[in-house]
């Protein structure tokens, strides 16, 4: 039991680090969006200068409220992931000043891979970052769809809604990012590559 908890804690820290590196080191320097709550946090930062992690927590409150009443196990298995990943995102925000001078499209791919890897790693170990990842896990559990696909669909909706705020270049780069996030998350959560698990196990 203790070994399992320690392993989960380590995966939350590692996954949160991956997500934070992807956002701060690759996406934010080029003003690229991701989908989900991260995307909403990035929009709030680009438009109003709000902290990304703090915004993610605020926007996740309604979803966690639903989880508390309807999916209590999801609530407990996601709350620590939400808080730790949001903390890492804000604490490591200074990394954006040291980003590699990569082509924006390549930064979008690599940044998306880091974020997707972090999300997928946490999902594989029965936790998540909460937010739309939590919502996607609930939808996937009901519909039996791959959680990575559900996250990708939600990401597309958020990118589409926010389209009028940013340039076409930003939208194209953000689309590349969510494709990368979705693909890596699906690979990390696919039963072809890993034994099937549920966040409720």
Q: Is residue 25 part of a domain?
A: no
Cα angle 118, 19, 10; round to 5: 55
Q: Is residue 8 part of a domain?
A: no
Share of the chain above pLDDT 90, in %: 40
Where residue 31 falls (left for φ over 0; alpha for ψ -120 to 50; beta otherwise) is left
Instruction: Reduce the secondary structure of the chain to three states and give it as a string.
Output: CHHHHHHHHHHHHHHHHHHHHHHHHHHHHHCCCCCHHHHHHHHHHHHHCCCHHHHHHHHHHHHHHHHHHHCHHHHHHHHHHHHHHHHHHHHCHHHHHHCCCCCHHHHHHHHHHHHHHHHHHHHHCCCCCCHHHHHHHHHHHHHCCCHHHHHHHHHHHHHHHHHHHCCHHHHHHHHHHHHHHHHHHHHHHCCCCCCCCCCCC
pLDDT attached to residue 59: 92
Burial level of 26, CB count in 10 A (0-12/13-18/19+)? buried
Q: Above 70 in pLDDT, residue 201?
A: no
Q: Is residue 167 part of a domain?
A: yes
pTM of the model: 0.87
Which residue segment(s) compose the domain that 36 sits in? 30-94+101-189
Phi, psi of 52 (to 5 degrees): -65, -50
Q: Which are the contacts of 101, defined by CB distance < 8 A and separation ≥ 6?
A: none
pLDDT attached to residue 126: 78
Q: Above 90 in pLDDT, residue 5?
A: no
Region 131-135 average pLDDT: 78
Q: Is residue 116 part of a domain?
A: yes
Task: Report the range of poorest mean pLDDT among 110-119, 150-159, 192-201.
Answer: 192-201
Which position has the higher pLDDT, 125 or 32? 32
Q: Is residue 10 part of a domain?
A: no
Segment 64-79, tens digit of pLDDT: 998 898 888 888 888 9
State the total domains in the chain: 1
Segment 155-187, tens digit of pLDDT: 788 887 666 778 888 889 999 998 998 899 889
Q: Is residue 138 part of a domain?
A: yes
């Amino acid at each position: 039991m203790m070994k399992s908890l320690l392993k989960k804690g380590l995966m939350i820290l590692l996954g949160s680090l991956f997500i934070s590196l992807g956002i701060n080191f690759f996406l934010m320097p080029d003003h690229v969006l991701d989908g989900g709550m991260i995307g909403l946090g990035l929009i709030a930062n680009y438009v109003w200068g709000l902290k990304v992690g703090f915004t993610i927590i605020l926007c996740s409150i309604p979803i966690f409220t639903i989880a508390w009443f309807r999916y209590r196990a999801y609530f407990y298995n996601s709350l620590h992931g939400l808080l730790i990943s949001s903390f890492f995102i804000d604490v490591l925000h200074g990394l954006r000043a040291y980003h590699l001078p990569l082509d924006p499209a390549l930064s979008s791919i690599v940044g998306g891979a880091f974020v997707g890897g972090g999300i997928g790693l946490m999902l594989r170990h029965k936790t998540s970052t909460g937010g739309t990842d939590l919502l996607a896990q609930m939808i996937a559990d009901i519909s039996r769809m791959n959680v990575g696909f559900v996250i990708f669909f939600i990401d597309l909706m958020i990118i589409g809604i926010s389209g009028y705020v940013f340039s076409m270049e930003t939208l194209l780069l953000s689309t590349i990012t969510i494709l990368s996030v979705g693909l890596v998350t699906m690979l990390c959560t696919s039963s072809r590559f890993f034994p099937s698990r549920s966040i409720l196990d």
